[in-house]
Amino acid sequence: MFMSRKLVAEFFGTLWLVLGGCGAAVLAAKFPEVGIGLVGVSLAFGLTVLSMAYAVGHISGAHFNPAVTLGIVAAGRLDRATAGGYILAQVLGGAVGAGLLYLIASGRGDFSTATGFAANGFGEHSPGGYSLTASFLTEFVMTFFFLLVILGVTTKRAPAGFAPLAIGLCLTLIHLISIPITNTSVNPARSTAPALFVGGWALAQLWMFWIAPIAGAVAAGLLHSWLGAVDETAEREEARRAAAAEQGESLAPATARPPR
């Protein structure tokens, strides 16, 4: 039952990320006269993660992203069986979010997915015309640092309660950097959702927005695991000594002979 709650949390978290982030891009980025632009869309993606991380992070850990899930697996914090369920819930949640956005956006007479529907792309489908190599490198590097931040701010030694804020701001920064290059993915579920409605080129280029983010995330997970190995070993040794000392103190009264 508890696992089902985690999956539902991941489903709705990813739904909100796609509806809020992609929705800002589709509905508000170029709204006549008062569009929110690149900065507004970047903030929208960051705010979706920040708000849902506070809302359901205590239930599922607030991944909302297959790359994040696999990066956390690589860091040794999540088992593979759980990861499979998380990824399925994230992809389904993203698809439903894109479906809701489609229903809303199609309420306008001149709406068409031909304008992109916030899909990710490279080459001629990159907002700035960036090549496959540049786009792949961008997605790899941005996801790598995104995972380093996520893993770092969620350790036991990090200040409690601030992780969602740091993660949301990091995602905002990532979008500010990379929207002109790929429209920013760093999230295979986010990329898959609009591609299902755009079809054609978006589906043909989707492979890159799975491989590059996952590769970056796994690399970050492995690096974090290596960087934290010394601290974790020290913590385990400290805990072992504390447990041994406590056990010794509790045994002392039992083994001591009463005074004659």
**Residue ranges per structural domain of the chain:** 2-107+118-243
- Give me the helices (H) in the chain, please: 2-17, 23, 37-60, 66-74, 80-105, 132-153, 163-182, 188-198, 200-204, 208-227, 229-255
Of the listed ranges 17-31, 39-53, 217-231, the least confidently predicted one is 217-231
pLDDT for residue 158 is more than 50: yes
pLDDT at position 250 over 80: no
What is the b/e burial string over 172-196, where b = at least 16 CB atoms within 10 angstroms of the residue's CB?
A: bbbbbebbebbbbbbbbbbbbbbbb
What's the rounded Cα separation, in Å, for the pair 107 and 99?
13
Burial (CB count <10 Å: 0-12, 13-18, 19+), residue 251: exposed
Q: Is the pLDDT confidence value at 259 over 80? A: no
Share of the chain above pLDDT 90, in %: 78
Mean pLDDT of 167-190: 97
Q: What is the pLDDT of residue 252?
A: 45
Q: Average pLDDT over the chain, rounded to whole?
A: 90
Q: Could you report the per-residue pLDDT of 102-121, keeping only the tens digit for each? A: 999 999 888 999 888 999 99
Whole-structure pTM value: 0.86
Residue 254 banded pLDDT, cuts 50, 70, 90: very low
User: Distance of CA 27 to CAs 14, 16, 123, 171, 174, Å?
Assistant: 19, 15, 24, 20, 21
For 2-107+118-243, CATH gives 1.20.1080.10
Residue of 142, 136, 169, 145 lying closest to 224 (CA atoms) = 145
Q: What pLDDT does 114 receive?
A: 87
Mean pLDDT of 230-236: 58
**Model confidence pLDDT, tens digit, residues 124-154:** 999 999 999 999 999 999 999 999 999 999 9
Amino acid identity at 220: A
Q: CA-CA-CA-CA torsion for 183, 186, 190, 196, nearest 10 degrees?
A: 70
Predicted local distance difference test score (pLDDT) of residue 201: 96
